[in-house]
Amino acid sequence: MRVNGVAYRTVWMDGGAVKLIDQRLLPFRFKVVSLRTHQETAEAIRAMTVRGAGAIGVAAGYAMAQAARHAPARAFDRAMAEAAELLRGTRPTARNLFYSVERVLAGLPVGAPVAARRARAAAIAQAIADEDAARGRRIGALGQQLFRRGRSRVMTHCNAGWLAFADWGSALAPVYEAHHRGKRVSVWVMETRPRGQGARLTAWELGQEGVPYTVLADTAAGHVMRQGLVDFVIVGADRIAANGDVANKIGTYALAVLARAHRIPFYVAAPTTTIDLACPTGAEIPIEERGPDEVLRVSGPADDGRLAHVRVAADGAAARNWAFDVTPAAYLTGLLTERGLVAPGPRTIRALMRAPGRARPGAVRRALVHA
């Protein structure tokens, strides 16, 4: 995707450094940071300098390549195991992070020279990034089934665009593809408290691509749905359980309940790397809880241009800050992946994970579920 006309990926590797867009500063400032070690990359994931399921998965893969690059030859396996443990502890909910760490570890040739193992780690990390971008583009193409012939008014929550992946994204990929094809599409962007990823990131992305959008307070979703102004809702996912339950940014569950009450189709878009077959239901998905200051304070540019942090609650106020919630599969109209669009459930998900890498358009149409 493009920033001021220049093509970027969200995360990439340049020599031994991981480069990424500092998402904490958007939309007020665009800055690329350079991370020299896997410890620095892990901290960037933890601090949400980079965030989004696919993007932190790509960053974790690159971090493992950095760890291999610097691991001492005599203690290579131990150093890699320690790096893996460090990365797993940064963000517990997103499946893509664990997928990338596991894939790099599993792909290292046992007994091979250390130089070969280092090269292999770097190759796997780059493959993870390239495949993530390709999956997003495929989701965008397959998602054209969701749009009406005329105008489509789409609602989304948090950020599941290209900033959340290597490129293209998941929930926003069909929107971008529709826009590129000349379809009439506009987006209702939920602000996504407490960090405002919708207002700060999704709105910025859509503006860069020229897609019409309107930011809404999170509490306005039901009102807009009741007015008949939403054709379908599409969100991303951080982890999908084997039965189709979905963990996504906090507030997704409430949005799904509202969509169900107003008979509005509710879709989840995610690559198959987000599906965790080892997790039977949403009840087993670990839900990250972050510090209370994200709820008690907001940040933004002051009149002099400097970023300021302002308190919005009374002194001494307590706060809880769950980063994610779980939406039961029963509330989903369909699950859109790079392999097709299916009704969420244990059987369909198992079949999806056994399917070849590309779904036939006819198979997608047959799988489409209407609310």
43 pLDDT above the threshold of 60: yes
pLDDT band at residue 26 using 50, 70 and 90 as cut-offs: very high
CB 360, CB 143: distance < 8 Å? no
DSSP letter (8 states) at residue 109:
P
pLDDT at 361: 39
* 3-class secondary-structure state, position 336: strand
Report, as an integer, the average pLDDT of 162-186: 97
CB 334, CB 343: distance < 8 Å? yes
pLDDT in tens, 92-148: 999 999 999 999 999 999 889 999 999 999 999 999 999 999 999 999 999 999 998
Mean pLDDT in the chain? 94
Helix residue spans in 247-292 (DSSP H): 252-261
Q: Please tell me which residue in 238, 245, 276, 325 is annotated as part of the active site.
A: 238
| Residue 238 is a catalytic residue | yes
Report, as an integer, the average pLDDT of 295-309: 87
pLDDT in tens, 148-168: 888 999 999 999 999 999 999
9 pLDDT above the threshold of 90: yes
pLDDT at 5: 86
Report, as an integer, the average pLDDT of 340-366: 73
pLDDT in tens, 219-236: 999 999 999 999 999 999
Q: Give, in degrees to the nearest 5, the angle at Cα 18 between 16 and 21.
A: 155
pLDDT in tens, 242-299: 999 999 999 999 999 999 999 999 999 999 999 999 999 999 999 999 999 999 999 8
Tell me the percentage of the chain whose pLDDT exceeds 70.
96
pLDDT at 304: 86
Report, as an integer, the average pLDDT of 21-39: 96
How many CB atoms neighbour CB 283 within 10 A? 11
pLDDT at 302: 85
pLDDT at 323: 96
Question: d(Cα 184, Cα 190) in Å, to the nearest integer?
Answer: 20
Instruction: For residue 237, give the nearest of 256, 261, 212 by alpha carbon.
Output: 256
What Rg do the C-alpha atoms of the chain give, in angstroms?
Answer: 20
The domains located in the chain, with CATH, are: 2-136 (1.20.120.420), 138-367 (3.40.50.10470)
358 pLDDT above the threshold of 80: no
pLDDT at 357: 58
